[in-house]
Chains A and B, each alone.
Chain A
Amino acid sequence: MLAQISTKTDDQKPNIAVLIADLKALPESVWCDYLFNRDLLVARIGPEKRAELIAGAIKCGTDLAQETARSYGSIPASELVDQLPLQVKPEDSQTIQKQVFLATFTEPNEIKIYQEPINKLTALKLPGFDRAAITEIILAHELFHYFESQDDQFYSRTSQIELWHLGRYHHRSTVRATSEIAAMIFSWRLNDLSFSPLILDILMLYCYNPEAAHDCYQELLALARSGQGDPESDQ
């Protein structure tokens, strides 16, 4: 898998086609690590717990995708949303410097999809990334958070780490990356994609801040090269 990835140095900025080809070649484990490295609690989680949480999140997303397919049949996320008590609201944008917001799910049932980044990405006219395809990927991701909010036995809600304790009080917390990884996997499986839905992260960022997108791209390639994102390296 790694052999397929471009071996450019940091100084060489790829064109968008090469960037997409490289990103599509990245394995699931690299994207999981990419998400985990952004978690606010990453410094408090050791390698073993990290591997356990990632594996559990992958299983959680996969299981839900299979169950959803069984329950609702093979229908796109947009149709699934129509069958559920969800409100989908298009919003303009919520872009803050190096943070680009694609969508927000707020309990109990509100999904906001930010149009500005989608408009910018569709304007690039990239094959496979038209408005409908992008929307399906985003909706499926947010659908996971909806299903997650309905069931407190979801792995992403039950798996916790202990942050500190005082006497008998143990302060535990869920790890947000677990939920995000499971949502990514759910969208990946539900849409039957051959690449990670998180490619949208880099592409959207590219539309606003090519430098920052390039940094993320390099970070992903470095993860792939280092083997941190290689499933075998966790074993």
Chain B
Amino acid sequence: MDREIIRIENLTKIFRSRNKEVVALKDLNLSVKEGEFLVIVGPSGCGKSTLLRILAGLEKKTYGEIYIKSKIENRPITAVVFQGDAVFPWMKVIENVEYSLKLRGVPSEERKKIAQFYLKLMGLENFADYYPHQLSGGMKQRVNVARAFASDPEILLMDEPFGALDEQNRLILQQELLKIWEGSGKTAIFITHSIDEAIFLGDRIVVMTAQPGRVKAAFDVGFERPREMLSLKSTPQFIELYRKVWEVLKEEVLKSRK
């Protein structure tokens, strides 16, 4: 559990356009433990998505070092649950979930079995042959989560996956995500705006500074699992932690507004 899986040293990302330079991340240092659920919060535009995209290999770092100590072979190191509507509309639900397995050349029988397992976990077993346009936003996001888990990565990267959902759907999906994650033993990095969500899901919360992004503070969450949102929210420890995180975050939000 205490084995370090990701170490990021002095990570810097500079976006250059013709006559402008934007420093999105500057000398960011972060260590993530194996099997940990790490939540990153920070003001809008602080570079948290950029950090995730660099870890997912979608963006190149400008300088700094990233060490990922992976012990697995022929499985992906990371998989991403994206923020928006990232389910392929031209594939059926089950084809979406088995997408990464198909890319890797997993035989059809086996990938059907794996996909069905995760569909069932997300309560989608009756929708395998539906097309995404027939699903609600909450169900599409379930497909998105199932697709990432089905690829069986060592590290799960989630970029505000429930940000576009309504409150009720979000609560249900948070609970389901925890259930599926607890059974998987995977390392998770989760980005959110919501402190509630951060405390409910995370083992550890990292607050980032306003742009350029850096790690400002980290909080251990320490609540036992499995967790239940309602009972958790009414404990004094929750409120205390919420206050602490908000105090640190507020400074940065105010800074980013200038």
A and B: interacting chains: no
Interface residues of A (CB under 8 A from B): none
Interface residues of B (CB under 8 A from A): none
